[in-house]
Amino acid sequence: MRVRIASSPDSWGVWRADDPRQPPWSRFLDESAAAGYEAVELGPEGYLPTNPEVLRRELGGRGLKVIGANAVGKLHDPEDWPELEQIVERRSALLRELGGEYVVLIGEGHTDPFTGEQISEKTLDDDGWARTVEISHRMAEVSRKNGVRLTYHPHASAHVEYEDQIETYLEKTDPALVSLCLDTGHHAYKGGEPVAFMRRHHERIPYVHLKSVDAEKLRRVNAERLPMAKATSLGVFCEPSRGVVDFAALRRLMEEIDYDGWAVVEQDMFGVSWDVPLPVAKRTRQYFKDIGLG
């Protein structure tokens, strides 16, 4: 088993490319290095520099590398596909220049994360599934052209969020083209059991996001039907050592299957003071070391 641990801007409360409430990208990189991470995800497009020479210099000066970048769009809506293809092309080309490995494809949610307003049908019909699979395959080809692997990230409040929906997605997509990024926190947030799911589908999962949820706060979120931003600001995504996901069991499974790949610490935060993320990142990095991850 070889598990390499990276950090994500999500753990620094970054949701958008440019928001004055978020810490600047230089602080995210400084603190990722200070917390002991060896690599980062890029976060929203435009948050970190997009010029490969600039980014290479900034990363190298801190002893960091890039492992992945996300691409978000309306997978079920063909009108959004041309823009999404441009995003995937840019992101995979940047990863190619920097030695990154994974484009993380995420479908835009059916519910507004800030207001809770429903903005599209919550479930896919047959045509919606067909479109989602088609664009997943197309984006995988774009990524592969740049030597980068596409991983699909199921996401809370998106069209593929529950365990049975993820199973359907895996059944319908070509394993030679599309892999899965298992986000343990989003999986648990929607009532799934991420370790058991990883056991069943590890051959499709080369890339993992490490995240957990607070059981008591999750009960409140479900009872009050709170939108994602509100749930996140309440701390529903908690430090891995304090949540419901059994990371010791995940480590044992990774050892059993001889997992060789990256795992990204992604404790979603929203609206926190800039002084909050670094101590959490340091404790989290030490926690995973203590249980034998990374």
How many CB atoms neighbour CB 223 within 10 A?
A: 8
**Helix (H) / strand (E) containing 59:** helix 52-60
Residue 66 belongs to domain spanning: 2-290
0.85 surpassed by pTM: yes
Calpha distance 28→9 (Å, rounded)? 7
Q: Are 180 and 151 in contact (CB under 8 A)?
A: yes
Q: Are 4 and 265 in contact (CB under 8 A)?
A: no
CATH number of the domain bearing residue 168: 3.20.20.150
In 26-137, the DSSP E strands lie at 39-41, 65-73, 102-107
pLDDT per residue as tens, the chain (294 positions):
999 999 999 999 999 999 999 999 999 999 999 999 999 999 999 999 999 999 999 999 999 999 999 999 999 999 999 999 999 999 999 999 999 999 999 999 999 999 999 999 999 999 999 999 999 999 999 999 999 999 999 999 999 999 999 999 999 999 999 999 999 999 999 999 999 999 999 999 999 999 999 999 999 999 999 999 999 999 999 999 999 999 999 999 999 999 999 999 999 999 999 999 999 999 999 999 999 998
How many CB atoms neighbour CB 52 within 10 A?
A: 15
Number of folded domains that form the chain: 1
Calpha distance 42→122 (Å, rounded)? 28
Q: How many residues does the chain have?
A: 294
- Helices (H) then strands (E): counts for the chain: 11, 10
